[in-house]
Amino acid sequence: MSAAKVFTCDPKNFKMTDEMKQAYEDDGYVFIKGFLDTEELQNLRKTVEDTEQFKSRIYGVSDGEGRESRLTQWKHPGNDVTGLLARSEKVAGSAEKLLGGEVYHYHTKLMCKDPRGLGGKHIWHQDYGYWYKNGCLFPDMLSLFLPIDPCRKENGCLQVIEGSHKCGRIDHELYHGQQRCNEERLQEIKARLPHKFVEMDPGDCLFFHCNLLHCSDANLSETKRWVLIPAYNKASNNPTKIHHHPCYTPLHKVPDSAIRECRNYTDFSGKEFLDPKTDKTADVMADKTPA
């Protein structure tokens, strides 16, 4: 096991380079240090850490080992700081470059791992392993992993299998409220491809392909581990059925400066926070083991 390769950038003048795009295509991800500057990160924290509307919508997902990983998620970006971040050129524009065309916001999650062994793990999976079930015909989808706190091995940093997006979609099953990829297939892939720990600082960013195998361990440290994860679908990949995430909805992009200039920390109109009871891809309200 080894560390992931890293790109650096100027956060006030970010451009997705051809080298970054090539890394995404080759490895299934691109890791960018310092993607958000200090002002952008502070503004983001004011919304997600200091606002009761976010905290009141957080629910737990069992990891099958007595822990929970908590989260809240929403359908549309909205006009608060998280929304302008998701609509910014550096985020949405980069997603368009990586996917090769117009994108729309599929959803955003705030993932919350509590400290001291309370924050649960996320088992190995591909996002497209269950997005496929939502009627998305092609894997023209990606996510961004944006840490609000330091992400280290001891607090459950992201782990990836480099190049695994080239294996195509793997069958998934429900396991203790999470979607789990086929274990036999996983072990064969892990024997052939590099397993990377992606240790990150607040403000770093990782764009990753929807077929990239990834997981994270429980948080055994003394500090929380919160991460924002916006996800995008290519406009041409409009789902074939109505489900709990949006079908094609035009995305109105904003300049990157809007992230640090935004002062809307509490008006979340239009975001449509997800009711976990309506999520068809994971039974988050129960702790079930497959037969």
Domain ranges in the chain are: 2-278
* Residue 280 in this model has a pLDDT that exceeds 70: no
pLDDT at 56: 83
pLDDT at 2: 62
Longest dimension (CA), the chain: 52
pLDDT tens readout for residues 70-114: 889 999 999 999 999 999 999 999 999 999 999 999 999 999 999
* Residue 272 in this model has a pLDDT that exceeds 90: yes
Q: Which two tokens stand for residue 185?
A: 């297939």
Its pTM stands at: 0.92
* Residue 283 in this model has a pLDDT that exceeds 50: no
Q: Which two tokens stand for residue 260?
A: 């640090």
Tell me which of 19-23, 53-57, 102-106, 157-161 is least confident.
Answer: 53-57
Closest CA to 196 of 29, 23, 25: 29
Higher pLDDT, 48 or 122: 48
Look-up: residue for tokens 């400290």? 115
Q: What is the mean pLDDT of residues 154-166?
A: 96
pLDDT at 286: 39
Q: Which two tokens stand for residue 219?
A: 């948080």
Q: Using an 8 Å Cβ cutoff, are 31 and 214 in contact?
A: no
pLDDT tens readout for residues 25-40: 999 999 999 999 999 9
CA distance 243 to 247: 8
CA distance 132 to 204: 28
How many residues would you count in the chain?
A: 291
CATH placement of domain 2-278: 2.60.120.620
